[in-house]
Structure 1
Amino acid sequence: MTTAKEKQVIQSEFQKRMDEDELLNCMRCGFCLPSCPTYVESGFKESHSPRGRIALMKGVVDGLIEPDEDVERTLDLCLGCRACEPVCPSGVKYGHLLEEARDIINQHKKHSLPVRVLRKTVFNGLFPHQDRMRMMTGMLGIYQRSGVQKVVQNSGMMKLLPESMATMERVLPQVPSLKKMKDRPSYLPSIAEQKKKVAFFSGCLMDTMFLDTNNATMKLLQHAGCEIVIPKSQACCGALHGHSGEKDGAKELAKRNIAAFEEIGVDYIITNAGGCGAFLVDYDHLLKDDAEWYPRAVAFKEKIKDMSAILVELEFHKKMKLHVRPQKVTYQDSCHLKNVQGTFLQPRMLLQAVDGAAFIEMKDADRCCGSAGIYNIVESEMSMKILDHKMEKVEESQATTIVTANPGCLLQMKLGIEREGLSGLMRAVHIADFLLEAVEETDKL
């Protein structure tokens, strides 16, 4: 329960920190409404739309609305998918407003002791430290490989968890050994004739739980003619912090990453996770009030490029022979890759170049799948409604392979396949893993 004093402080901070010009840019035209999953799934509730949430923020700034639990709840229920931004005729940066509002509320309300401990553990003790991320992921690997996972699943203990979490436990990727996670390269030469020198943003979960996908990405870059530098001092992108009201932590991680990449003299910084890439290109906004770091953030941002974009730029899909066994393939857009980075044609171009892959464009491919970082854990009910809608479109496409470009989307689609009982008929795969399959299948011919 937010106290009266906390509400006063939050309202004062809204007045100081919220960008009123950006709030006033919203013309209340409603173009954002059909693009907003929570607006649609809530039965067209205005407060669960981008327009409605901006009106609430403006009401708090103007002193017309108290920043109470209802305001916090409607902000928390937002996926942060930013599908409203490309369709907004005024160009409102809704994502920036949402993150600022969440940060103000989080920093000026008193959480319960268990929540404070959990947040401190996750945001301060775990994600900023890649060695700890490896240890945590390594423990999951032991759980999977030791046979304990099978015992737990067969015992029925998972029934004590919410259905979505129990299903998620079954679809997690097989985690590599701790030795493999520690034995990471810092440099890889080009396999083909060198065309670009790039840096690779490894990420935190991507370089532990999704280590094979990172390896596949770097192998593709080598085939495309890229010399690759992988800075050891890089850190988590900070997206989880930024989206969860931990802006100071996000800023510290941003500074670590900018410093890690700015002196190595590369053409591009390559990412393979839509959510990470979108947060990286927003570093200039995150550090806009820091005179020292803002220009460095701008220079950093200009070099960020998604793996699919550089592969197309270097004509990988035209110069490499790509082949897979016959299958129907569709593509699920990563919200942040499309809506923030503007990358949506390139993944499709790559998939359409693969022999044996009959590409089918899925209806509403760019609508959020409901993953949204940890949203599918903390807002499971709404997430599953959104996922159910997505799986309807997947089944209509009759695809046997769903390709994604973000780890959260990948797990969510695997979750959807498992929930629908389609695990023997359909699979979900990251685009890097799919393209490497195509390279390796071709080599066998």
Structure 2
Amino acid sequence: MTNKPHIQQQFQARMNEDELLNCMRCGFCLPTCPTYIESGFQESHSPRGRIALMKAVVDGIIEPDEDVERSLQLCLGCRACEPVCPSGVRYGHLLEEARDIIAQHKTYSPIVRFIRHIVFKQLFPHPNRMRMVTALIGFYQRSGLQTLVRQLGLLRLLPSHLATMENVLPNVPTWKQMNERPTHVEALIPRKRRVAFFRGCLMDTMFMDINDATMKLLQLVGCDIVIPEAQTCCGALHGHSGEKADAKTLAKRNIEAFETLDVDYIITNAGGCGAFLIEYDHLLKDDPVWAERAKAFVAKIKDVSVILVELGFHHKDWHVPNQIVTYQDSCHLRNVMKTAKEPRLLLQSIAGIEFREMKDADRCCGSAGIYNIIEPDMSMQVLDYKMEQAKQTKATTIVTANPGCLLQMKLGIEREGLTNVRAVHLVELLLEAVETTKQMDEPLKQMG
């Protein structure tokens, strides 16, 4: 049940009507929209159609009913429509505002209300609790409990995509490892840059190895790294799910954590986090205390691939065992952070890699934060298309640059039964190249 009159009033008060009117209904966005394509070309599931629905609610032509809500919820939020829009409509901002209005005036069932409270308020904003939950997953994996659950067939009680997802989760670190994280590491060569590292929540727990690989690469190219302990979740999950007030709170905590550091850049290694961080200035634009502070923060955000190229990682003579590699763009890294060429340049610079571009590499994989959990049918449709394109490249390694995309690619590999294919984060493959090259050079040094 939703409070329709209040929602309509809030749409009229909060939606950016100039932005809504910017949409010329030209249709350039249609071929880029996965849900429009996978829904059988339903207009209401396209960016143009969703903007029309928002405008109709604002104008009082339609009520903000279940059909409007369904259309907005089915959107992946990939923002592939934005780069192709001739009018420059910031569709993502409109979507987040509309979702927030609906979420704040919706009456959820007790169980959904409880889950949202736990996830958004009690878990992600608290790094210690994230570590505790991850440690429990680690106990499940290492104690024999996972083996027992699988032997008893208990995973069959879960929806098939969740059962498969359980199988592709990384081996997570121990509680001790997660609580012994560095706050400062020095460059391995004469310092070129002093940077801060945004470690994230899932990235510094479930995907801690990727964070470690990121820091090693930064050290290797001459970066001193500061990792402030006071940082917290970026707020992307909140911002995309109708919890904008909490997203703003997290943004302010992160700005405070980083703004006193004397650093050149704030480095991220997760496309979804980076894209939300780089829009803190929009999130806090109406706050007179925080607007300028947010702009200063945003000016320093940089993806790890960009700084690696800037500092010449791709000019080194790196090697890996021969393999065919393709790259799956993180939607937000490409469409919001405008970073697409740097990951490809890094991959193509490594000897032993035969790089093959997949068709529609820039189309969403269907992960989209928690979309693959709450909208499994559409998510799997989108993933099936993506895996078909990946298979056409005959790649043995699929590279991406976001944890959600990485899990989704692993899920696709598992679903397709591709036993000779793996999915890795970009920095994992780059560190493999560093370590392989060192191993190759060691015998030569001994001979010399």
Query: TM-score scaled by structure 2?
Result: 0.98
Q: How does 1:88-237 map to 2 (within 5 A)?
A: 88-237=85-234
Q: Which residue, 281, 285, 288 being the options, matches 1:288?
A: 285
Q: Which residue of 1 aligns with 2:445?
A: none
Matched AA of 1:26: C
Q: How does 1:405-416 map to 2 (within 5 A)?
A: 405-416=401-412
Q: Deviations over 1:347-398 (max 9, x none)?
A: 0000001111111111110000000000000000000000000000000000
Q: Partner amino acid for 2:348? A: Q
Alpha-carbon distance in structure 2 between the residues aligned to 1:303 and 1:173: 31
Is 2:354 aligned against 1:358?
yes
Letter in 2 for 1:221: L
Residue 87 (structure 1) shift: 0.3
Structure 1 residue 421: Cα displacement: 0.5
How far, CA to CA, are the matches of 1:193 and 1:363 in structure 2? Answer: 41
Aligned residues: 440
- Secondary structure of 2:61's match? coil
User: Counterpart amino acid of 1:376?
Assistant: N
Shift, 1:321, TM fit: 2.8
1:341 aligns with 2:337: yes
Cα offset, 1:160, TM superposition? 1.2
> What SS does the corresponding residue of 2:360 show, helix, strand or coil?
coil
Contact 1:287 1:293 in 2 (8 A): yes
Paired residues of 1:321 and 1:439 also in contact (CA < 8 A): no
* Partner of residue 397 from structure 1, selected from 388, 393, 396: 393
Q: Which residue number corresponds to residue 433 of structure 1?
A: 428
Question: Within 5 A, what are the aligned runs for 1:8-47?
Answer: 8-47=5-44
Which residue in the other structure is 1:279 paired with?
276
Q: Name the SS of the counterpart of 1:197 in structure 2.
A: strand
1:374 equivalenced with 2:370 (yes/no): yes
Q: The residue matched to 2:320 in structure 1 has which SS? A: strand
User: Where does residue 442 of structure 1 map in the other structure?
Assistant: 437
Q: Measure the CA separation in 1 of the matches of 2:97 and 2:24.
A: 20
Kindly provide the CA deviation profile for residues 250-291 of structure 1, in whole angstroms up to 9, marking residues without a partner as x. 000000000000001100000000000000011011001100
Is 1:239 the counterpart of 2:236? The answer is yes
Contact 1:324/1:356 (<8 A) preserved: yes
Q: 1:322 Cα shift?
A: 1.3
TM superposition outliers: structure 1 runs of 4+ over 2 Å: none
Q: Which residue of 1 aligns with 2:443?
A: none
Q: Deviations over 1:153-210 (max 9, x none)?
A: 1211111111110000000000010100010000000002211000000000000000
- So what's the TM-score if we normalise by structure 1? 0.98
What is the alpha-carbon distance in structure 1 between the residues aligned to residue 415 and residue 46 of structure 2? 28
Equivalent residue for 1:322? 318
Aligned counterparts of 2:288 and 2:400: Cα–Cα separation in 1: 38
Identity of aligned residues (%): 69
**5+ residue gaps in structure 1?**
none
Letter in 2 for 1:92: V
CA RMSD of aligned residues (A): 0.5
Q: Write out per-residue CA displacement over residues 18-68 of structure 1, whole angstroms, 9 at most, x where no aligned residue.
A: 000000000000000000000000000000000000000000000001001
User: Secondary structure of 1:253's match?
Assistant: helix
CA contact (8 A) 1:23 1:58 kept: yes
Aligned amino acid, residue 349 of structure 1: L
Unmatched runs of 5 consecutive residues or more in structure 2: 441-448
Query: Distance in 2 between the 1:395 and 1:193 partners?
Result: 43
For 2:78, the equivalent position in structure 1 comes to: 81
Secondary structure of 2:162 counterpart: helix
Q: Deviations over 1:281-322 (max 9, x none)?
A: 11011001100100000010010000000000111110x331
Q: Distance in 2 between matches of 1:269 and 1:321?
A: 27
